[in-house]
Amino acid sequence: MSLRFGYTIIFVEDVVKTVEFYEKAFDLKRRSVNPLFAEMETEGVTLAFGANSNERSELPIEFRENHPSVAPAGVQISFIAADVEAAYTAAVKAGAIEVVKPQRMPWGQTISRVRDLNGVLVSLVSQSQS
């Protein structure tokens, strides 16, 4: 069996509002968008958003909805940035919630973290120093 990682789908309350936020905060471009599902252009894996209401009707199990008033799920999405400080500043200016300001790690990478308008944890990182 051969699998290929294709999508990261984040369930959100308002798909259109989330797309607009990701355009402003992270300079992503929309590929397609409607009230139930959207995809963003990235240089790698597709980042998509699905409406909570739609997912609740399709999934046979309960899931915890993303919301800024609750702790984020134990997962994050990460964007590689040429200038982490500038990317962090732009995200916060667009409404991202500050979590960790940019800091240089012992292995040489610069990393910062914010939460999006849904409370999803997003890291902004420099290219790996491997």
Please indicate, yes or no, if residue 39 is contained in any of the structural domains: yes
How confident is the model over 90-112, as a mean pLDDT? 96
By percentage, how much of the chain surpasses pLDDT 70?
98
Q: Is the confidence at residue 129, as pLDDT, over 90?
A: no
Please indicate, yes or no, if residue 107 is contained in any of the structural domains: yes
End-to-end CA distance of the chain: 30
- pLDDT for the residue numbered 59: 77
Domain that holds residue 96: 7-125
The reported pTM is: 0.91
- What is the chain's mean pLDDT, rounded? 93
Please indicate, yes or no, if residue 40 is contained in any of the structural domains: yes
- The DSSP bridge pattern shows strands 121-125 and 97-104 to be unpaired
pLDDT digits 0-9 by tens, 41-99: 998 889 999 999 988 787 788 888 999 999 999 999 999 999 999 999 999 999 999 99
- pLDDT for the residue numbered 130: 56
Please indicate, yes or no, if residue 2 is contained in any of the structural domains: no
Please indicate, yes or no, if residue 1 is contained in any of the structural domains: no
Q: Is the confidence at residue 123, as pLDDT, over 60?
A: yes
Phi, psi dihedrals of residue 50, rounded to the nearest 5°: -120, 145
Please indicate, yes or no, if residue 83 is contained in any of the structural domains: yes
- Give the number of domains in the chain: 1
CATH number, domain containing residue 74: 3.10.180.10
